[in-house]
Structure 1
Amino acid sequence: MVKIKVAHPVVELDGDEMARIIWRFIKEQLVLPYLDVELEYFDLGIEHRDATRDQVTADAAQAIRKHGAGVVCPTITPDEARVAEFGLRARYRPPHATLRDVIGGGVFREPVVLGGLPGQGRGRPGPVVVGRPAAGRRGVTALRAPGPGTLTLTFTPEAGGGDPVELEVCAFEGPGAASARCRTDASVRDFARASFRYALTRRHPVRLTADDTGPTKYDGRFRDLFREVFDAEFAADFAAAGLTCEHRPAEELVASALRGEGGFLWVCRDDGGDLRAEAVVQGSGQAGPVTSVLVSADGRTLAARPAHGTVTRHYRRHQQGRATSTNPVASVHAWTRALAHRAALDGTPEVTGFARALEEVCAETVEGGQMTADLARLVSADHPWLTTEQFLETLDTGLQKKMAAR
């Protein structure tokens, strides 16, 4: 079989534990046999991150920004126990936090729709995609008030920028706690552009939530900037595509999702989007694998990853020589989303077709009743399931048949 040529590199960020084991199989059995692709590889396993004092993460982020397409394996975010376990020299921040700082834009979490599962299947509304800002939140600061006193918020302009502004926040009558947050206009505009471009690509209307009962100078500014960017830069494209952009109360969108409605991009103004995403996905009958893509404001750069961790519990079983049933579908879709974006940048429909074919194999396999234990439990308590290796081998067989028939 002649391999399909990928015109430009894809940046690969390797990870840890069970996710790393699955990652290697996907790359070696489901990608490289079919694609002639240059992978610019970075090992983000925790030992190598420690050996480089995490310089490897910064280098990887810059490589993704340079080439425009990256695929990211889940990595360990060390807590104090992990620092002790690996003898780390520091408690490193999550790699995706570094990627967000470098690439900016927005993060979009999207359930993988698989037939054969309760609440999913062909013909149902599309998934609820949840977006949140990638970067730009600065100066998140907290304090403990030891006793009575007054908390103030002060803004001191640079020279020539006017007089300082001081506001009283709280008069503490006793001990307490407080936090302050801020976000730049530029970061909100970047998030808006990333959101609208992603919505156009996925053909989803946009639903924006900002708290109308909260601080109007914070939430209101967020909403106003979104509307400003939409009206000036995207309204015509949305109209041509038959898509809309609306502001909706959060409780209304939650109710819509729980009723089974979908097929829209839910834009959240802050980091609570991660929690809201999980609640909606689980509660609206869309339980299953979830992908997460980081998209730059100009839409050129995309980094895709599965929206789960390194699956430590399964890795411990694997280390003991025991069988596991770890779901690889989100990791497969991280590869397909990165490859499809690479194809869109390069104008290579053959690569797009391959990515689509691999996603179809995943869906057809699950629809045919072959799945890992986590998905089987969604069907029934006694539904049969495959081990990690059996499921991956089934995907491999299905892909071979599909590609041979093309």
Structure 2
Amino acid sequence: MAKIQMKNAIAELDGDEMTRVLWKVIKEELLLPYVDLKTEYYDLGLKSRDDSDDKITYEAAEAIKRLHVGVKCATITSNQARVEEYHLKKLTPSPNGIIRAELDGTVFREPIFVNNVHGTVSCWKKPIVLGRHAYGDVYKNCEIKCPTAGKAELVFTGTDGKEIRKTIMDMKGPGIIQGIHNLDESIENFAKCCFTYAANKKLCVWFGAKDTISKIYDGNFKEIFQRVFDQDFKKQFDDAGIEYFYTLIDDAVARVMRSEGGFMWATKNYDGDVMSDMIASACGSLAMMTSVLVSPDGNFEYEASHGTVQKHYYRYLKGEKTSTNPVATIFAWTGALAKRGELDENKELVDFAKCLEKATLQTIEEGYMTGDIARIASPKAKKILNSWEYIAAIKERIR
């Protein structure tokens, strides 16, 4: 059959390890036979980022802004072990952190439900959408390892030359200090993105932070969220019969674990990083969750919410065919293609993306799946497939 034509390109951000291997297979088997794929390719593999001193990461972020749609493979954020393994020049920053800061967006993550895979939290009946602030906090921090005793201070010098200075700690010996920041504008954008997304899906919004301890930092989040809601969204929420409320993050966690789902949980950057993995794992697998970064000016970056599956990659290098679950990576591609089709008024492309998602989930529901979800499938899997077999089974159903 004739391939589906694309009017405009999407930014393609390649990644690392096992997800990089499957990225190529997904393109060759599930996309290129059916779509005349138009992408601007950026290699965000760890060595490529190190060689370019992260210039390529910033170029990829600019491409997403220009094209309005990007799709990203999972990438490594280096630690000292990775520096030695990949012979890097230095510790490289998080590419996700760079891209999220450049787009100043909010990450929305949602579990992918299938009828025969039941999570470990029995009361969850509906997906929990997690809205994660994607700017600042520890992902754009400044750290010092203090070699001796001394005074640690927090200093702000305004553009008017006035200085605010506070003592963090009179340190009696060696230790560590860390500085984090956020911007009112970014927090406002985060709140607006969450309320807009929730209103469109008719979801209640829960926001949790720790203003009882972090009275100024977290208190600022709480105040801005409430102001944005009262000014711009309260009537819309009232008319739709949905609500917004703030609670402490520990209370939010307890509420989430007792809920039936079906709401948006808005979180600060680090909280969202941790809790999205908890929700995905409790729903079945880290590979069964969609993730999209939405910027306030209408740019979208789709990605898998999990890492590069390092252990499977080492086994792959030894010649093994691993049973790595590619669903989240497939859904990153379908999300990006559907959004491209929506923006370009290309119904064929949107329909193809939906078809591929349906074939992906139908394969699982018919009993053919990777090992991670076979452990909790009911009824039991008819056959546990390696990644290549699973992708081939999806391709059969596309036909």
Once residues 242 and 11 of structure 1 are traced to their aligned partners in structure 2, the CA distance between those partners, rounded to angstroms, is 38
| Corresponding residue of 1:359 | 357
Aligned to 2:385: 386
Deviations 1:360-406 (A, max 9, x none): 11221111111001111123898541111110100111112xxxxxx
Equivalent residue number for residue 373 of structure 2: 375
Q: CA deviation at 1:282?
A: 3.1
Which residue pairs with 1:33 in the alignment? 33
Q: Partner letter of residue 81 of structure 2?
A: A
Partner of 1:155: 156
Q: Work out whether residues 119 and 282 of structure 2, in 8 Å CA contact, stay in contact via their aligned partners in 1.
A: no
8 Å Cα contact 2:151/2:171 also seen in 1 = yes
Q: How far off its partner does 1:241 sit?
A: 4.6
The answer as to 2:118 corresponding to 1:112 is: no
2:70 alignment counterpart: 70
Cα distance change of structure 1 residues 351 and 306 upon mapping to structure 2, 3 Å threshold: same
2:374 partner letter: A
CA displacement 1:71-116 (0-9 Å, x = unmatched): 0011233333332333223332222122112111212232222221
**Alpha-carbon distance between aligned partners in 1 of 2:87 and 2:287, rounded to the nearest angstrom:** 35
Change in Cα spacing, 1:141 to 1:379, as seen in structure 2 (3 Å) is same
Residue 3 and residue 325 in structure 1: after superposition, are their counterparts in 2 closer, same or farther (change >3 A)?
Answer: same
Q: What secondary structure, in the 3-state scheme, does the structure 1 residue paired with 2:270 have?
A: coil
Deviates more, 1:276-285 or 1:76-85: 276-285
* CA separation of 1:286 and 1:43: change in aligned 2, threshold 3 A: closer
| Alignment length (residue pairs) | 395
Cα distance in 2 between the residues matched to 1:177 and 1:319: 38
Please give the residue correspondences for 1:148-297 in structure 2 after superposition, counting only pairs within 5 Å.
151-159=152-160, 164-170=163-169, 177-239=176-238, 241-259=240-258, 261-283=260-282, 289-297=288-296
Question: Which 10-residue stretch deviates more, 326-335 or 280-289?
Answer: 280-289
Q: 1:28 to 1:206 in 2, by over 3 A?
A: same
Deviates more, 1:13-22 or 1:248-257: 248-257
Question: Which segment drifts farther, 131-140 or 110-119?
Answer: 131-140
Matched residue SS, 2:266: strand
Taking the aligned partners of 2:394 and 2:282, their CA distance within structure 1 comes to 28
Instruction: Give distance in 2, aligned partners of 1:45 and 1:179.
Output: 28
Distance 2:56 2:50 in 1: 9
How far is the alpha carbon of 1:311 from its aligned partner? 1.7
Cα shift at 1:141 = 3.9
Query: Per-residue deviation at 1:185?
Result: 0.7
Q: Which has the larger displacement, 385-394 or 273-282?
A: 273-282
Which residue of 2 is the match for residue 348 of structure 1? 346
| Identity across matched positions, percent | 37
Of 327-336 and 340-349, more deviation after overlay is shown by: 340-349
Cross-structure match for 1:403:
none
Instruction: Give 1:22's aligned amino acid.
Output: L
CA distance in 2 between partners of 1:389 and 1:309 (Å): 19
Ranges in structure 1 where 5+ consecutive residues have no aligned partner: 401-406
* Range 191-200 or range 236-245, more displaced: 236-245
- CA shift in 2, pair 1:258/1:235, >3 Å: same
Assess, with a 3 A threshold, how the Cα gap between structure 1 residues 144 and 276 changes in structure 2: closer, same or farther. farther
Give the conservation status (yes or no) of the 8 Å contact 1:210–1:219. Answer: yes
8 Å CA contact 1:16–1:75 kept in 2: the answer is yes
Which consecutive unaligned segments of at least 5 residues does structure 2 have?
none
Q: Does the residue aligned with 2:390 lie in a helix, a strand or coil?
A: helix
2:191 partner SS: helix
TM-score, normalised with respect to structure 1: 0.87
In structure 2, distance between residues paired with 1:343 and 1:232: 33
Q: CA deviation at 1:266?
A: 0.9
Deviation of 1:178 (Å) = 4.2
CA RMSD of aligned residues (A): 2.9
2:40 counterpart SS class: strand
Q: What one-letter code is carried by the residue in structure 1 that aligns with 2:134?
A: A
- What amino acid is the match of 2:33? P
Deviations 1:131-187 (A, max 9, x none): 22212445544554844x655444333227xx5334444455666554333211111
Query: Is 1:22 aligned with 2:22?
Result: yes
Structure 1 counterpart of 2:304: 306
Q: Is the 8 A contact 2:78 2:91 kept in 1?
A: yes
Secondary structure of the residue aligned to 1:262 is: coil
Report SS of the residue matched to 2:302.
strand
1:78–1:217 Cα change, 3 Å:
closer
CA distance in 2, matches of 1:346, 1:94: 31
| Structure 2 CA distance for aligned equivalents of residues 92 and 251 of structure 1 | 32
Q: TM-score, normalised by structure 2?
A: 0.88
State the one-letter code of the partner of 2:84.
A
Q: Which of 327, 330, 346 is 1:329 aligned to?
A: 327
Match of 2:57? 57
